[in-house]
Homo-oligomer: A and B are copies of this chain.
Amino acid sequence: MVQIKELGAGVLRNNRMMSDGRTIRYYDSQGQSRQAIDQRPQEEQPLIGELRLDPLLNEWIALAAHRQTRTFLPPKELCPLCPTQGAALTEIPESDFEVVVFDNRFPSLRPPETGWNLPEINGPDTRVAPAAGVCEVVCFTPDHGQSFADLSQRQVRTVLEAWRDRTSELSKLDFVRQIFPFENRGEEIGVTLMHPHGQIYAYSYLPPKTTQMLLAATQHFDETGRILFDDLLAREIRDEVRIVAHNDHWIAFVPFAARYPFEIHVAPLIPVADLTQLSPGACDAFPEIALEVLQRLDGVFNIPMAYIAAWHQAPVREGRDLLRLHWQITSVRRAPGKLKYLAGSESAMGAFIMDMLPEQSANQLRSVVLEK
């Protein structure tokens, strides 16, 4: 394991071993030294789960039966994502950090034995497989009370470097097919730890949404010779009414056919397949638009909005020229006291009903007056 590596924007990565064999990676912009030892007793690692095929939809379901016991809304003084202070030993041995990424203690997916292969899909008789993959936790800041929207531009830049580094490293694992950095924010959507953090899932199978995006992009390419996402972006720029924010390298818009009351897609103007391909200029311009978009979201009702912020990347081994990197932020809040629920039509039929025009929510987002 390379311990120290120099990344973009002056960020140093420092890999350390945790007491149970998991890895923690410190991403630092000030060249800090990271020597703290994990003082916790060793802990047995959970077994790998199962992948079972739902033949009705041809989708893999990951079963991770041990996760029922995972940490659930602990009080602040027991937060496992704060830096270690004195005897309160947390997931992060150091007494301070900028950004860390560590292997999830309760992973839904785990690295498999070598020689693992995804079984062929074969109806109800499809073979069960180990739930191969990687699950990591990304801590955005040591400050328990902050949220992503409170970070400085420098901090967001370091988070971006961490996402890029993990995408690059995870892409090298032969069992990984798709890498998915994301953040769940808000108890309303089931967040079990309030400390500002995200996660990275590296799947050993194509997730259903990626499969579907790849199918649509392939059809569009076969019919027109053009890249679907590029056409879509051109259309949003032409229509203009749903644009929420932009700078020289990025654009943020409410998509024409949004599914959620507040939904923002953020895309680089020069298209790339994944985070590792972003130019230095695009990387440096990301913090500004990311913070603006999340601050606008919190500003709509002047309350912290529950959201899912999801990086869609081209898969690791296929469709590299057809799918484009973009960041989808979706919020289920439709009014201060009201959430949008995925009930019968959405959940069982996949048919989304939207109560709000995308043009209207784009307008609300643009109208938020930001503190400078």
Contacts and interface: CB of A to CB of B under 8 A. Distances in A.
A314 to B, nearest CB: 13
A221 B343 CA distance: 31
Contacts of A328: 348
B124 A231 contact: yes
Interface stretch (A87-95, A154-162, A253-261, A297-305): A253-261
Given A124-B231, A256-B124, A357-B63, A58 B350 contact: no
Given A61-B258, A340-B190, A343-B184, A228 B352 contact: no
> Which label, helix, strand, loop or mixed, suits the secondary structure of the A interface?
mixed
B189 A334 contact: no
Contact of A310 (B108, B210, B257, B349): B349
Interface string A207-220: 11110110110011
Contacts of A310: 344, 347-349
A341 B190 contact: yes
Nearest to A209: B350
A192 to B, nearest CB: 9
Interface residues of A, number: 83
A64 B350 contact: no
Nearest to A350: B208
B232 A68 contact: no
Contact of A208 (B62, B220, B351, B355): B351
Contact of A123 (B125, B220, B353, B355): B220
A64 B344 contact: no
B349 A180 contact: yes
Interface in A50-99: 52-65, 67-68, 72
Nearest to A234: B124
Nearest to A265: B56
A354 interface: yes
Contacts of A255: 54, 56
The 5 tightest CB contacts between A and B, nearest first, are A190-B341, A208-B350, A310-B348, A207-B349, A182-B344
Given A189-B341, A189-B343, A190-B340, 19 more contacts: A55-B220, A56-B216, A56-B232, A56-B255, A57-B209, A62-B353, A123-B223, A123-B224, A123-B232, A124-B232, A124-B235, A178-B349, A190-B341, A201-B351, A203-B349, A203-B351, A207-B349, A308-B343, A308-B347
